[in-house]
Amino acid sequence: MTETPKAQPVTPRVRVKRLPDRGSYDRETIESILDEAFICHVGFNSGHGPIVIPTGFGRDGNDLIIHGSAASRMLRDLSNGIDVCVTVTILDGLVLARSAFHHSFNYRSVIIYGKAELITDRDEKMRALEILSEHIIRGRWADVRPPSEKELKGTTVLRLPIDEASAKIRVGPPKDDEEDYSLPVWAGVVPLQTTLGTPIADERNLDGIELRDYFAR
């Protein structure tokens, strides 16, 4: 874990070219998006061309953490230090304009470029897995059986330094052409939220076991 800068360096590939006013290189913004999302999409070149895989992740200061089975093709490819692009997207709303053309989404996304590194040290690996787990459900790690040495060995954990990254964000109402504002069409934003449904207890839970309120935050 290295120190985090206040703002990202704006390298050619992170610079938001299309609609640049939606771009952000502010570190706090980038981290807040990463910390809210459950999954990322990992892009890299396999032997068969580009490939994009969804997966869970965590953040350890300046490092994005991903993991998977040691048997996973993706983890094996990535641990060889090839170029990777990780994208995290949160969809916040449908933007309904008066013209088809100006329809849009409200969203917050982060793109990180770099090369992943294998975490080999046993204790660092255990800590990274705890971070991954806590990213998804804070407080859960302390309640469950921790990984055995065999499970640890069977798990590949990678860190991707968040050194080259940018955010892209759209917020607010639709922006219509001036002459379209007189059209008798409802315009505005329909917010989208990810919500938790009613928990489904496993049939083999012990009697009297309740789900702790991990999600109160």
**Footprint (CB under 8 A) of a second copy, residues 148-187:** 148, 151, 155, 173-174, 180-187
Task: Classify strands 164-170 and 23-24 as parallel, antiparallel or unpaired.
Answer: antiparallel
Q: Is residue 127 a contact point for a second copy (CB under 8 A)?
A: no
Q: Is residue 12 a contact point for a second copy (CB under 8 A)?
A: yes
Q: Provide the β-strand partners of residue 54.
A: 41
Q: Provide the β-strand partners of residue 73.
A: none
Nearer to a second copy, 190 or 216 (CB): 190
Q: Is residue 84 a contact point for a second copy (CB under 8 A)?
A: yes
Binding-site size, a second copy (CB under 8 A): 96
| Contact (Cβ atoms closer than 8 angstroms) between residue 65 and residue 59 | yes
Return the residue of 22, 32, 89, 117 that touches a second copy, per CB under 8 A: 89
Give CA 57 to chain center in angstroms: 7
Nearest distance, CB of residue 29 and a second copy, angstroms: 17
CA dist 91 and 83 (Å) reads 26
Nearest distance, CB of residue 162 and a second copy, angstroms: 15
Q: Is residue 216 a contact point for a second copy (CB under 8 A)?
A: no
CA dist 100 and 140 (Å) reads 45
* Residue from 83, 37, 35, 77 nearest 60 by CA: 35
Q: Is residue 80 a contact point for a second copy (CB under 8 A)?
A: no
Name the segment binding a second copy (CB under 8 A); options: 23-31, 57-65, 80-88, 117-125. 80-88
